């Protein structure tokens, strides 16, 4: 017996078993509180974030792009803003979707592989409603830190630029999964480095765009890590839209 997955009209997905339902329920019950408690200790600095205001000033919305391993620090720091995220259809995606909803994100189900067409179409619709989007172009199962072309298709159809994000953390635990998921330690220094908005022009080779995005995300990632480990360099780069959030954000 199958039923449509929540938030994915008409998409058949196996009904979660008892253990899966128990796990999902437990994570959703305590996960958001743990994330808020841990995240409130982080020393967070946003750099070049004025590019966000620049895009919004044009009346358009944007697509944040970031590596899958940084979902936790970005999920905490962008919570409560109504950003639309794409969550995969498997069990881990269900857990992620419930957590993101609890943190104030709007969740659509799908991915850049399985279920991608319906998921991306709904993301485009959300952008046209006036919401920013966020997607990890190497998700849901990798290969890690290699962007897929789905995000280029999304930007083209949504009519907004891609804003790549690099994340640096001075102290963290990396899990052993495919993406080496990052969990910043309590009181860790977290740097979120915004890249320049990238426009996907009609007629662009979407695979080439994905290759360019991969290179840019890697560049930003390396810079953000250096800035997280050496605060003096981050101080030198601070400007109009940059600042130290001290672990605070929107709830």
Asked whether residue 21 is assigned to any structural domain, the reply reads: yes
153 contacts: CB under 8 Å, gap ≥ 6: 120, 206
pLDDT at 222: 97
**pLDDT class of 187 with cuts at 50, 70, 90:** very high
Q: Compute the average pLDDT of residues 46-57.
A: 97
Crossing angle of helices 150-158 and 116-128, rounded to 10°: 30
Return the sign of the alpha-carbon dihedral for residues 232, 167, 100, 119.
positive
Each residue's pLDDT tens digit, 92-113: 778 888 899 999 999 998 765 5
Question: Of 147, 176, 177, whose CA–CA distance to 164 is shortest?
Answer: 147
Q: Are 249 and 49 in contact (CB under 8 A)?
A: no
Q: Which tokens is 158 given?
A: 């949504």
Asked whether residue 134 is assigned to any structural domain, the reply reads: yes
Q: Compute the average pLDDT of residues 119-124.
A: 88
Asked whether residue 251 is assigned to any structural domain, the reply reads: no
Q: Which tokens is 153 given?
A: 């298709």
Q: What is this structure's pTM? A: 0.84
**DSSP secondary structure letter of residue 176:** S
Give the number of domains in the chain.
Answer: 1
**pLDDT class of 72 with cuts at 50, 70, 90:** very high
> Whole-angstrom Cα distance, residue 16 to residue 3?
10
Instruction: Provide the percentage of residues in the chain whose pLDDT is more than 70.
Output: 82
CATH number at residue 55: 3.40.1130
- The alpha carbon torsion through 34, 105, 155, 218 (nearest 10 deg) reads -10
Helices (H) and strands (E) in the chain, counts: 8, 12
Helix (H, G, I), strand (E, B) or coil at 44: strand
Asked whether residue 3 is assigned to any structural domain, the reply reads: no
Asked whether residue 70 is assigned to any structural domain, the reply reads: yes
Span between the terminal Cα atoms of the chain, in Å: 38
Asked whether residue 249 is assigned to any structural domain, the reply reads: no
Asked whether residue 10 is assigned to any structural domain, the reply reads: no
Each residue's pLDDT tens digit, 237-248: 554 444 555 554
Question: Domain containing 34: what range?
Answer: 16-244
Asked whether residue 250 is assigned to any structural domain, the reply reads: no
């Amino acid at each position: 017996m199958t039923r449509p997955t929540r938030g994915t009209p008409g998409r058949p997905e196996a009904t979660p078993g008892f253990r899966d339902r128990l796990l999902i329920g437990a994570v959703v019950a305590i996960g958001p509180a743990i994330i808020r408690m841990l995240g409130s200790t982080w020393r967070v600095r946003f750099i070049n974030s004025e590019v966000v205001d620049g895009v919004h000033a044009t009346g358009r919305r944007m697509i944040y792009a970031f590596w899958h391993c940084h979902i936790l620090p970005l999920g905490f720091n962008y919570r409560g803003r109504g950003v639309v995220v794409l969550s995969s259809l498997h069990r881990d995606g269900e857990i992620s979707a419930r957590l993101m909803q609890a943190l104030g994100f709007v969740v659509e189900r799908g991915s850049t592989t399985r279920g991608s067409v319906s998921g991306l179409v709904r993301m485009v619709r959300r952008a046209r409603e006036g919401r920013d989007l966020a997607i990890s172009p190497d998700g849901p199962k990798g290969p890690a830190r290699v962007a897929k072309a789905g995000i280029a298709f999304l930007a083209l159809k949504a009519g907004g630029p891609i804003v790549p994000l690099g994340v640096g953390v001075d102290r963290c635990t990396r899990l052993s999964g495919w993406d080496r998921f990052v969990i910043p330690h309590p009181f860790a220094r977290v740097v979120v480095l915004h890249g320049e908005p990238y426009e996907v022009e009609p007629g662009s080779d979407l695979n080439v765009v994905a290759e360019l995005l991969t290179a840019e995300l890697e560049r930003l990632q390396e810079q953000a890590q250096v800035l997280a480990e050496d605060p003096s360099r981050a101080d030198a780069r601070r400007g109009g839209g940059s600042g130290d959030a001290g672990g605070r954000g929107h709830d």
